[in-house]
Amino acid sequence: MKPFNHLNYRHLTVLMIGCLLQLHVAAQSAYATVYPGNWWAGMQYNKLQLLIKGGYDGFSSETVRINYPGITLTGVHKVQNGKYLLADISITAAAKPGIPAIEFISNGKAHAVQWPLKPRRKGNGTSYAKGVTSADFIYLLMPDRFSNGDTANDRVPGMRDQSLNRDSIFLRHGGDLQGVINHLDYLQQLGVTTVWMTPVIENDMPNRTEHGYAFTNHYSIEPRLGGADAYLRLSDSLHARGMKLIQDAVYNHVGLYHFLVQDPPAPDWLHQWPKYTQTSFKDQPVFDPHGAAADKKITTDGWFTPEMPDLNQQNPYVANFLIQHAIWSVEQFGVDGWRIDTYIYNDLPFMNRCNQALIKEYPRMTMFGEAWVGSTANQAYFAANTIQTPFKSNLQGVVDFQCNFNGINAALAGDATDGVFKLYNTLSNDFLYVNPMRNVVFLDNHDMSRFYSQVKENVARQKAGIGWLLTARGIPQMYYGTEILMKGISNPDGWVRLDFPGGFPGDARSAFTGAGLSDDEKAVQQYTRTLANYRKNSPALTNGQLMQYLPDNGLYVYFRYTSTQTIMCILNATDQTRSFAFADYAERTKGFTKVKDVLNNNLFNMQPTNDIPAQTILIYELQR
């Protein structure tokens, strides 16, 4: 995520103490609220630190008591704010599912909060927490802009942002999780295996709440998206189809109106500065062997925006709160993988600890981080890599901005010859990663100009980009609407976050039914559908190795292959028809005599010379 337009927050100059809306999934009574609000019997993560918020300043002086077989209270911590306590508990293997009571005793009086201990989900790694791999095809969507399946939740009384205006690019439009559920047929038929949504956690900010990146309560699912029940229905619906769910994690910051900001347990839960200090958005100080500590501190501890205070992950209480929430989310909602926002600004040792905790509990869990940086080496530093540095990241993969900026974008939106070589060169640096197949490749996203606009609304180049996306090494991710030529320049970002046609009542056009779409839009949609569904059953494209040849003046040839299948891809990024010969790539073509065009299923004999039209990618399955 990149910083969003500040103009909508120009009236927020001080922290305002607001009411905490009790819309969250937390154990609560009129007396106290416990985070997390429940746990599960039989978890490996069985030593918890409960954050407990009471209703008055002297709450921290109360005695805490838990009397439940298998649960032991091992410690109680006071913090500066007298409304809070932190209670350490241990849950042994003997603890059975039930409803323990956490009691708070003061002046001989006891108040109890019920804290459910649930039975665990079944199917860890098989029906949920399955991980996302190169065999998957991720579809990124913004729930508020994809489809409105329940107009009753368009506005929720008591929430600060009551906007609802589809004519504005910055206000809420009413899309929700039921809208996603309603169109899973469309996504599955498109070839999608995995849904990644921008954050679904409560975002009770005054405005610009459509994107979801400023949490105000970790344990509440955004009620205008349908709340926890709708999120669970979506997860269950995806899993029933054999599909997967990625949750968007934001560890680095929260929204200004988060209860931990409005009424913090202690000042050191946030990074505090004598005056407002924003991150420099420079990644180099994090790893620069010659860098200044002051520069690194600004990068990692500076606030993302004035409306997004920076969490102090070096505070052990904060770290525990965030890690427990991540594990809780997987078990509660059946999350399969994580996309981690603004990875480079987090405390990296904390991130290693968080990633490891998830993997220990869910061995097949996968995570990839946003690393919007300036070079391949910079990017690799934040992932599991082969570089000898004092800090070693355990992040499995990154959102591969280098394969975008210095890759497919350069090849198809810039000078063909230079751009295609940049794509080749970027992939030649894959030796820096422990496993580059875990990187997520993409054409565009919610923070960038749409690819169709980047290629000057050239349909042929759009199709070539999609062809590359679905044949490249790594995990392909498509932003909603790319398959129907949605366009927009990210200045401001609202123009790349427009509504998906057909997802809202009264839409004259529908990408779901094809009504009102142009011939070009239908053609690109079908192109995506054909290639993505072919990819599902192609061992070469889902798990094969990559071999690439030096480009020849804008002509780029690469292969994806296994012992049982070979796919040859020829990308002509130039504006002229080019010719190529299979014999020039004998290392991979030797022994094959026939070619099947993957996109039209035509089978033909190999010819000595072959033409490829301008701005085109050919995708051939080689046969003997």
Token pair for 455: 């290629």
Q: Are 515 and 502 in contact (CB under 8 A)?
A: yes
**How much is the pTM?**
0.95
- Would you say 535 and 541 are in contact if contact means Cβ atoms under 8 Å apart? yes
The pLDDT confidence band at residue 18, using thresholds 50, 70 and 90, is: very low
Q: In what order do the strands lie in the sheet with 27-28?
A: 27-28, 32-35, 47-54, 84-91, 71-78
pLDDT band at 30 (very low <50, low <70, confident <90, very high): confident
Buried (b) or exposed (e) across 404-439, using 16+ Cβ within 10 A? bbbbbbbbbbeebbebbbbbbbbbebbeebeebbbb
| Cis peptide bond prior to 476, omega within 30° of 0 | no
Please tell me whether residue 290 adopts helix, strand or coil conformation: coil
**Which range (6-15, 201-210, 251-260, 565-574) has the least confidence?**
6-15
How many residues make up the chain in this entry? 624
pLDDT band at 372 (very low <50, low <70, confident <90, very high): very high
How high is the pLDDT of residue 7? Answer: 33
Looking at residue 407, the DSSP 8-state letter turns out to be: I
The count of other CB atoms within 10 Å of the CB of residue 158 is 11
- Residue 154 a catalytic site member: no
Structure tokens at 198: 């921008």
Dist CA 332 CA 24 (whole Å): 13
- Using CA atoms, how far apart are residues 88 and 111, in angstroms rounded to an integer? 19
Q: Is 138 helix (H, G, I), strand (E, B) or coil?
A: strand
399 backbone dihedrals φ, ψ, rounded to 5°: -70, 115
Q: What is the pLDDT of residues 310-341, one digit of tens each?
A: 999 999 999 999 999 999 999 999 999 999 99
Residue from 62, 202, 307, 341 carrying the catalytic annotation: 341
| Amino acid at residue number 81 | N
- Given the residues 370, 400, 499, 521, select the one marked as catalytic: 370
What is the token pair recorded at 304?
Answer: 């993302």
How is residue 549 written in tokens? Answer: 């040849």
What's the rounded Cα separation, in Å, for the pair 93 and 162? 47
For the chain, the C-alpha Rg in angstroms (whole number) is 26
- pLDDT tens digit string along 544-600? 999 999 999 999 999 999 999 999 999 999 999 999 999 999 999 999 999 999 999
- DSSP class of 10: T
Omega before 36 cis (within 30°)?
A: yes
Q: Give the helix ranges, DSSP H, for 264-370.
A: 284-287, 293-301, 316-333, 348-361
| 4 pLDDT higher than 60 | no
> With b meaning 16 or more CB within 10 Å and e meaning fewer, what string describes 487-518?
bbebeebbebbbbbbbbbeebebbbbeeeebe
Q: Are strands 217-221 and 201-202 parallel, antiparallel or unpaired?
A: antiparallel
Distance of CA 20 to the CA centre of its chain: 27
Task: Give the whole-number percent of the chain exceeding pLDDT 90.
Answer: 95
The helix/strand/coil state of 514 is coil
Q: Is there a catalytic annotation at residue 493?
A: no
**Strand (E) or helix (H) holding 441:** strand 440-442
- 3-state SS of 458-505 is CHHHHHHHHHHHCCCCCEEEEECCHHHCCCCCCCCHHHHCCCCCCCCC
State how far Cα 529 lies from the chain centre.
23
Are residues 500 and 147 in contact, defined by beta-carbon separation less than 8 angstroms? yes
| pLDDT surpassing 60 at residue 229 | yes
Look at residue 12 in the predicted model and tell me its pLDDT: 33
165: pLDDT strictly greater than 80: yes
Cis amide prior to 492 (ω within 30 degrees): yes
Burial (CB count <10 Å: 0-12, 13-18, 19+), residue 296: middle
- CA-wise closest residue to 17 among 62, 83, 61, 86: 83
